[in-house]
Structure formats: C-alpha cells, structure tokens
C-alpha cells in the first residue's frame, strides 16, 4: 500500500507541475521571441507614475464597494524603423504590474527622463509591436519555479516518505 501511495503522490505532484508549466510556457516563448528581435535607439517622450483607481467589493460580507488605488509606471517612447517614426508604450511583456505604493512606480520611472535614450526591441514582422524589456515577467518566472519544484517533488517526496 505505501508504494501505491508514493506513486499516486508522485503523479499528483508531477501532473500539477506539468500543468503549471503549460500555463507559463506561452510567456516564456514570447520572451524568447522578443529577445531575438532587432533593437533600435528610442527616446522617452513621456514618463510618469500613473494612479489607477478601480472599484472593488469590500471583503466584509456586504455588497459595499470601495476604491482601490494602484500605481503603475507609464513610459511612452518614440523610435524609428526605416522611414517610419513610431510610438510605443509597452515596457515589458504581459500585463503591467502595479503597487499600492506610489514610490515603486516613481522609482521605476525616475531613471527614464523625458528625452532619455532607451533600447527598443522591435518585432520585424510588425514594427509597431515593440517592447523595452523582453525578459520573462515575474509571474512567468514564479510559475516556472513552482512547476520545477513540483516536478522535483514528484520524485523526491515519495522517496523521502516511503524510502
């Protein structure tokens, strides 16, 4: 019976890890593609910490709504591809991440003054598609780390528990 439990535990851990890896894979593949794109020099034309207010339901058991404030960095940049001058605002891959503390967004924006030079990764198939940071998002990295831990656990935990 312990051997069967070890197999079931291993399959559950490994299967969960594999599913999480499948969820994270598109973000990793997108990052790999974007890191191969050609780069051009761009210039910052606008930089600010943007205050976003959303209305959420308070977690009090009532249907009352309250405002939630999130601060995100916003950068707008211009770059040239051939004869075309393009504008972009995409900083990284995936959805922009925010913070309830404005200092996080402000500290990201601070090293990017207006008229400052940036390196822009440009999609050769669609030059209007550009990004400043083609690295995988933190969310993708965390998902992959959890997936690897679960797959390793699929082999290690049953051995540890049942020798």
Residue 68 pLDDT class (50, 70, 90 cuts): confident
| Interval 91-149: pLDDT, tens | 998 777 788 899 999 999 999 999 999 999 999 999 999 999 999 888 888 989 999 99
Distance CA 141, CA 135 (A): 10
Region for residue 25 given its phi and psi (left: phi exceeds 0; alpha: psi -120 to 50; beta: otherwise)? alpha
The owner of tokens 């996080």 is 104
Model pLDDT, residue 62: 63
Distance CA 162, CA 23 (A): 31
Query: 129 or 4, which is more confident?
Result: 129
DSSP string, 51-64: EEEEEEE-SSSS--
With 0-12 CB in 10 A as exposed, 13-18 as middle and 19+ as buried, what is 88?
buried
128 in Cβ contact with 77 (< 8 Å): no
CA distances from 98 to 29, 62, 75, 142 (A): 24, 27, 14, 17
Query: Mutual orientation of helices 2-35 and 138-162 as an angle, nearest 10°?
Result: 160
Query: 47 or 94, which is more confident?
Result: 47
DSSP string, 93-110: SSSPP-BSSHHHHHHHHT
Model pLDDT, residue 134: 95
Model pLDDT, residue 94: 79
């Amino acid at each position: 019976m312990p051997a069967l439990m070890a197999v079931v535990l291993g399959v559950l851990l490994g299967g969960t890890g594999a599913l999480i890896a499948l969820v994270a894979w598109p973000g990793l593949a997108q990052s790999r593609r974007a890191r191969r794109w050609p780069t051009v020099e761009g210039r910052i034309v606008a930089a600010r910490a943007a205050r976003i207010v959303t209305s959420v339901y308070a977690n009090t058991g009532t249907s009352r709504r309250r405002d939630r404030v999130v601060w995100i960095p916003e950068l707008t940049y211009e770059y040239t591809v051939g004869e075309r001058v393009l504008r972009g605002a995409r900083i990284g891959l995936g959805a922009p991440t925010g913070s309830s503390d404005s200092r996080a967004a402000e500290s990201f924006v601070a090293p990017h003054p207006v008229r400052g030079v940036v390196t822009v990764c440009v999609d050769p198939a669609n030059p209007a598609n550009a990004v400043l940071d083609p690295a995988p998002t933190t969310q993708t990295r965390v998902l992959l780390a959890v997936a690897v831990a679960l797959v390793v656990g699929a082999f290690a935990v049953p051995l540890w528990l049942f020798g």
